[in-house]
Amino acid sequence: MKNNSYRGLLVWQTFFIVFGIVTSAFISRYHWKENFTKQVEEQLEHSLTTFIKVYDTKYVLLENVCNFSQKKSSSRLTLIRDNGVVVCDSNTSAEEMDNHNSRPELILAKKNSWGSAIRYSDTLKQDMFYGAIQWKTEKGIFYLRESIQISAMERTLTKVDKYIFIVLIPFLIVFSILSILLWHRYEVKKQEQLDRLKVDLVSNISHEVRTPLTSIKGFVQLLVSTESELSPNAKESLSKIEKNTNRLNSLFTEILDLNKVEKRKTTTIEEVDLEIMVDSILSNMNLIYKEKNIETVLNLESNIIKSDYELLEHILVNLIENAFKYNKDNGEVTITSSSAGSKTLIIISDTGNGIAPNHQERIFERFYRVDDARNSGTGGSGLGLAIVKHSVSHLNGEITFESKIDFGSHFKVLI
Ligand code: ADP
């Protein structure tokens, strides 16, 4: 839940930052264009104002005014009468040009003595910037119009656009990826820290509990030794205390085992005699589950295998113990091993209760127990198979199983 809200916050934060940067880039571009146009207009107005001030219409023919622009290829001069008739034009012959009364820059100039407009020129076939100034002479009112190509301005704007796409967009992509990576690193670190805390807490509690538990066990054993002096009721209670103390003890041992396996970072590979290990486990199990009268069948092909002793022991102890624990009375446990390429395949089969299909997916989860009538009283903790799974994965192995209710189970370990 907390994870999701952090993720949501980060996505929104990244979105707003990216949105903010893109929006400000486009707003800046817009303002830059506005400023540029304004500057061009001011320059044009200034140069035309100066021009009509210095141009002496008494001595120089008005029709010659357009010749002043010929040197400047990007600029064009047009002289227009107050009635819209073109007197001269630096690029085109005046006779070919229509009445200019309806031109926006001229309409504005008639009103305010200066007018400007950006539009497409049919004569020059491109976008132009037009600035027209009112020119009062002794020969009447004229309008001197200068038009300049705005391709130069467009070129600069294209550069700005390129800057936005080549610099800004990759920057934003890198920025977004970096934010996601940073968030991911933060989450992984946080999870690792939490896991460490959890493992440490559980292991500290287990250690703390085991000390008084050992002392309780000792006192119980002391009392058991004086059994003859006890009443039948006290004897029964004592046996219950002993049983439960043993259960608690094995539960905390398994918790510590699981923690140890989970914390493990390295493996110590050595030559392990599988037969010796299996024999020792079996003699122990035969003792614990003596009443069940389980028959064991051994079929070990590859005896000496290269593995981590402690991890392999965890795997075999838990799987073999389950094969005994969940077996029927007078049942059978078969252990086989064979080499499979560079690995070893170990199969532990039993003729027990089997695991119902609806439980099969979850039996490797910690504390998961199939708690039904057939398993009642087995007293497991639900940690055995979790220890097996972690140990197998530390050894880069694989564990699979097949199980049929009332027929038994086969656990296959490839390590
Ligand atoms: P537990 O301490 O309960 O044995 P495990 O993690 O070893 O915990 O096993 C989880 C559950 O899987 C057990 O409660 C049991 O119901 C089921 N299970 C495991 N091995 C076998 C088996 N060989 N036969 C039948 N059921 C099994």
pLDDT of residue 1: 44
pLDDT of residue 373: 53
Contact status, residue 78 vs residue 68, Cβ threshold 8 Å: no
pLDDT of residue 350: 97
Q: How far, in Å, from the CA of 382 to the mean position of ligand 1? A: 7
Task: Report which ligand 1 atom has the smallest distance to the Cα of 381.
Answer: 2
**Pocket (CB within 6 angstroms of ligand 1):** 318, 322-323, 326, 350, 352-355, 363, 368-370, 375, 380-386, 409
Q: How far, in Å, from the CA of 12 to the mean position of ligand 1? A: 46
Contacts from 232-235 at CB under 8 Å and sequence distance 24+? none
Residue closest to 296 by CA, chosen among 312, 272, 313, 279: 279
pLDDT of residue 378: 61
Q: How many CB atoms lie within 10 A of CB 12?
A: 10
What are the phi and psi torsion angles at 334 (to 5°)? -115, 130
pTM confidence score? 0.60
pLDDT of residue 226: 78
The residue whose two tokens read 């009635």 is 83
Q: Whose CA is nearest to atom 11 of ligand 1?
A: 369
- Helical ranges in 128-168 per DSSP H: 151-163
Q: Whose CA is nearest to atom 21 of ligand 1?
A: 322
Q: How far, in Å, from the CA of 186 to the mean position of ligand 1? A: 37
Q: Whose CA is nearest to atom 8 of ligand 1?
A: 382
- DSSP character string of 35-90: HHHHHHHHHHHHHHHHHHHH--TTTS-GGGGGGGGTT-TTEEEEEEETTS-EEEES
Q: Whose CA is nearest to atom 7 of ligand 1?
A: 384
Handedness of CA 214, 219, 220, 221 (dihedral sign): positive
In one-letter notation, the amino acid at residue 303 is N
Q: Whose CA is nearest to atom 13 of ligand 1?
A: 369
Q: Judging by beta carbons within 10 Å of its beta carbon (0-12, 13-18, 19+), is residue 285 exposed, middle or buried?
A: buried
The per-residue b/e assignment along 303-331, b for 16 or more CB within 10 angstroms, e otherwise, is eebebbebbbbbbbbbbbbbbbbbbbeeb
CA atoms within 13 A on the CB side of 207: 8
pLDDT of residue 299: 92
Choice from 292, 369, 405 to test ligand 1 binding pocket (greatest atom count within 8 A of CB): 369
Taking the chain (415 residues) in consecutive chunks of 10 residues, what is each chunk's mean pLDDT?
63 79 81 83 89 78 76 75 92 88 94 91 78 90 88 71 76 83 88 85 85 88 78 85 87 88 88 95 94 94 89 96 94 94 94 92 89 61 92 95 94 96
Q: How far, in Å, from the CA of 360 to the mean position of ligand 1? A: 10
